[in-house]
Amino acid sequence: MTGIHDVSVIGAGPAGLSAAYELKRIGLDPLVLEKTAAVGDVWRNHYDGVRLNTGRFFSQLPGNPFPRSAGGWPSRDEVVRVLETFPERGGFKVRTGINIEKVEYDRQRDTWAISSQDGETFESRAVVVATGCACTPVIPKWEGMETFPGEIIHSSKFKNAQTYAGKNVLVVGSGNSAAEIASRLAEYAKTVTLSVRTLPHILPKSVFGIPLAGIGVAIRPLPVAWVDGLLHGLRRLFIGDLTPYGLPFPASPVSQQFARSQVVPIVYDPFAEDIRAGRIRVVGQIKKIEGQTVHAFNSIEGKPNEYSEEAALNVDAIVAGTGFRTGLTKLIQVPGITTGDDRPVAQGDHDFPNAPRLYIIGHFVPLSGYLREIRLDAGRIATKIGKQLAARGAAGQANPHQSLQIAEE
């Protein structure tokens, strides 16, 4: 234990760094804890060639604009540069290599107890949880997967497509990562097959030079039905009908599908063309694996308990773009703060009962842009924490704007 801190930020990705920047700006001195070895490591380890889909203008973080030299769609290295220089420009420090495994509220002391995996503990009056929605990679337990002789990796471990030159690769998933990885593999692999369980929405990355995120900002105030209609029109106009290639229009509109799965539409431009050109074959979900043969439904409409024509695929490697769990249920020891599928019930600057001065940031991915949402939430959360700590001090406890400095480590 190192004394009581004003506010602790768990995670030093874009969300945590943005929150720390805003907290420092209003006069607080945040304790920032990051599990990786260096700030920016998560983005530093993304696959080669990845770029922001939201464009430079709609991806700004607090006090850290991307330079014009980053181009319209900043690269992985540009994002890393912004992240790794964040603490110096924000005037705060980050402790790396600290893997937090438990956050508990001490009602008697009215403080939060934060425990790390190696047994170190911290006490804080307020907490910002910024561990991200991509915390724990998930790979389904396919029948017979233990018999597969090749490599099975999660998309978060994928590095570059050249590694798979001349191989038959199966990509599983219907999100942006799965689509982009499949398209990148199509340039080098012998064959690329995409196994899809849920029909994805596919939208253009930009419209007449305007990033989709910009359109998302403009249409956000509109009624949901109008937004769904507009997005469906964009899909028809700029992407077209992919039904002959195994990807018909989803039955549910974008809003309903996102509410159910939290999966945003695919916006990687080369994907639709690769599907049309036959460089990516689409099949349904995996039924079972027998050695190097993967049995899948031949179409996405195939259901596990119904007879459906089957595709038998000869596969050398499997890349699972099958999503993540947040890990929040295990991390935050507050009953009911997450849903059954591990999503936060309250996020941004919204409070949750029995969790005073605890906020969760970086779990909402709107069409208007993930990083933009982080920037807005960070400012709101910092302002709210500042007011709450000031009120707490006025009630007879220490004033957070005076001498509550982080104890020497």
290-321: pLDDT as tens digits: 999 999 998 886 555 444 578 999 999 999 99
Which of 66-70, 139-143, 244-248, 357-361 has the weakest average pLDDT?
A: 66-70
What is the reported pLDDT for 301? 65
Same fold across 4-135+326-394 and 138-320: yes
Q: Where are the alpha helices (DSSP H) in 114-168?
A: none
266 contact partners, CB below 8 Å, separation of at least 6: 174, 175, 176, 179, 200, 201, 202, 203
What is the reported pLDDT for 95? 97
Residues 228-243 pLDDT 10s: 999 999 999 999 999 9
- Domain extents in the chain: 4-135+326-394, 138-320
Position 403 pLDDT exceeds 90: no
Residues 153-177 pLDDT 10s: 999 999 999 999 999 999 999 999 9
Higher pLDDT, 396 or 133: 133
Distance CA 274, CA 348 (A): 38
Percent of the chain scoring above 90 in pLDDT: 75
92 contact partners, CB below 8 Å, separation of at least 6: 20, 21, 23, 24, 29, 30, 32
**Encoded amino acid at 265, one letter:** P
What is the reported pLDDT for 326? 93
Residue 319 bridge partners (DSSP): 153, 171
**Encoded amino acid at 255, one letter:** S
Percent of the chain scoring above 70 in pLDDT: 93
What is the reported pLDDT for 104? 97
Question: What is the per-residue burial (b if ≥16 Cβ within 10 Å, else e) of 33-71?
Answer: bbbbeebbbbbeebbeebbbbbbbebbbbbebebeeebe
Residue 34 bridge partners (DSSP): 96
Distance CA 358, CA 10 (A): 11
What is the reported pLDDT for 11? 97
Position 365 pLDDT exceeds 60: yes
As given in the structure block, the two tokens for residue 160 are 């570059």
pLDDT band at 395 (very low <50, low <70, confident <90, very high): low
Position 184 pLDDT exceeds 50: yes
CATH architecture of 4-135+326-394: 3-Layer(bba) Sandwich (3.50)
CB 235 within 8 A of CB 203: yes
CB 172 within 8 A of CB 280: no
Stated as kind and residue range, the H or E segment containing 195 is: strand 191-195
181 contact partners, CB below 8 Å, separation of at least 6: 47, 155, 158, 161, 171, 319, 321
pLDDT band at 347 (very low <50, low <70, confident <90, very high): very high
Largest CA distance in the chain: 71
What is the reported pLDDT for 409? 32
What is the reported pLDDT for 303? 52
Distance CA 71, CA 40 (A): 20
pLDDT band at 260 (very low <50, low <70, confident <90, very high): confident
pTM value? Answer: 0.89
CB 192 within 8 A of CB 198: no
What is the reported pLDDT for 307? 45
What is the reported pLDDT for 306? 47
What is the reported pLDDT for 308? 55
CB 59 within 8 A of CB 216: no
142 contact partners, CB below 8 Å, separation of at least 6: 286, 288, 289
Looking at every residue in the chain, the average pLDDT score rounds to 90
Long-range contacts of 259-263 (CB under 8 A, 24+ apart): 261/198, 262/133, 262/343, 262/365, 263/174, 263/175, 263/198, 263/200, 263/323
DSSP-derived letter for residue 67 is P
Distance CA 44, CA 323 (A): 19
Name the region of 109 (left: φ>0; alpha: ψ -120 to 50; beta: rest). alpha
Q: What is the CATH number of domain 138-320?
A: 3.50.50.60
Residue 318 bridge partners (DSSP): 152, 170
Residues 133-148 pLDDT 10s: 888 899 999 999 999 9
